Structure 1
Amino acid sequence: MSETETDLPEDASCLILDDDMPFRTRLGRAMEKRGFTPVLAETVLEAKRLISQDPPAFAVVDLRLDDGDGIEVVDALHARRPDAKAVILTGYGNITTAVAAVKAGAIDYLAKPADADDVQKALLAKGGQLPEPPDNPMSADRVRWEHIQRVYELCGHNVSETARRLGMHRRTLQRILAKRAPM
């Protein structure tokens, strides 16, 4: 048993709500390796059903989902289990949503793609204590690239629409999309 597993409470159930199946599955496996008992959900409705049946001790919740937002889920979780710790994940980091997440009872707010180690640190941080900063934070270039990829995906891979929404020239966007992700 690793040192981090001994820090886990007896009930280490962890709801992971994200509409991105590959990310949800990878994070579930990674959290299981760290001693958590993951329960995976794809929609707000499914997560609320799972919470009503057996509220987990921890939750990792995507902010924006097809059928609602993760703040609803954090509210539902705290209504059933006030001592639960929840972390909000988002590809759209801004002050307004961070404040809303904290008001709903989330203990942390992490930008996607979040590393499982960062999620674990946030979930296990003692009350009032901030988790340690990440060992290898994403570079500014990587954050920019991730944001562009997310908007491109949300625009249905339409280069012209993505360029319009990002306020950049279409050819510039095409050059960025043709390159590999920066480290």
Structure 2
Amino acid sequence: MNFLIVDDDETFSSVLKRAIKRRGFEVTVASSAEQALTLLETFKPDLATLDLKMDGASGITLIPRLLEVNPDIRILILTGYASISTAVEAIKLGATDYLAKPADADQILEKLKYSEPNPDIEIADKPMSVGRLEWEHIQKVLNEHEGNISATARALGMHRRTLQRKLQKRPVKEDH
């Protein structure tokens, strides 16, 4: 089986490539969405992990092209910037699943192999924190404005620089 890794973190890509190869896959790595598009001219992946936030285009933009190349491909969005709105968009576009970094090869392969819907999924005991709700709302509005920071800031009623500072921060972690 062919496995495509699209991630601009060279260290992560290298470690993941070795781990996936050890499990018997043929692995190809692209450090950008643009490089991945070029690879898809000659490489037909069966499985793929796509980083959401990279220099240049987002990994999510590759989903339609990957499905053209192989309609049966299983795609995992892997990101350190997880939010509900990006997860929903990725699934709507055809991604198989979505996983927040850090993740190891076993977790990634588990998500790609066994992605049947789970009606018994654990539901959180408490609601999201105010910080996490703010992060999710900002991501939703940013997505609605196609990544335009100025339009998003106007829609949120905040200064553009304030929004940029908030976007530079990592998402607020939830206590489980």
For the superposition of Structure 1 and Structure 2, which TM-score range results when normalised by the shorter chain? 0.5 to 0.7
| Residue in structure 1 matching 2:93, options 104, 108, 113 | 104
SS, match of residue 86 in structure 1: strand
Per the TM alignment, residue 165 of structure 1 is displaced from its structure 2 partner at its CA by: 3.6
1:66-106 alpha-carbon deviations (Å, 9 max, x no partner): 11011111211001211011100011111100001101111
Look up the match of 2:18. 29
Q: Aligned runs of 1:145-164 on 2, under 5 Å?
A: none
How many corresponding residue pairs? 126
| Partner of residue 73, structure 1 | 62
Matches within 5 A, 1:35-114: 35-114=24-103
Structure 1 Cα separation of the partners of residues 60 and 41 of structure 2: 16
In structure 2, the gaps of 5 or more residues are 122-131, 133-161, 170-176
Structure 2 SS opposite 1:78: helix
Please give the residue correspondences for 1:103-182 in structure 2 after superposition, counting only pairs within 5 Å: 103-125=92-114, 128-129=116-117, 165=166
Over the aligned positions, Cα root-mean-square deviation in angstroms equals: 2.4
Q: Distance in 2 between matches of 1:86 and 1:80?
A: 12
Once residues 66 and 21 of structure 1 are traced to their aligned partners in structure 2, the CA distance between those partners, rounded to angstroms, is 13
Q: Which runs of 4+ in 1 moved over 6 A?
A: none
Q: What secondary structure sits across from 1:113 in the alignment? A: coil
**Structure 1 unaligned regions, length at least 5:** 1-11, 134-143, 145-160, 169-183
Q: Which residue identity lines up with residue 17 of structure 1 in the other structure?
A: V
TM score, norm. by length of structure 2: 0.65
Structure 1 position 55, deviation (Å): 1.8
- 1:52 to partner: Cα distance: 2.2
1:56, CA displacement in angstroms?
A: 0.6
CA offsets, 1:16-65, max 9 Å, x none?
Answer: 01000000000000111111111011011110111122221110110111
The residue type equivalent to 2:72 in the other structure is: D
Report sequence identity in percent. 42
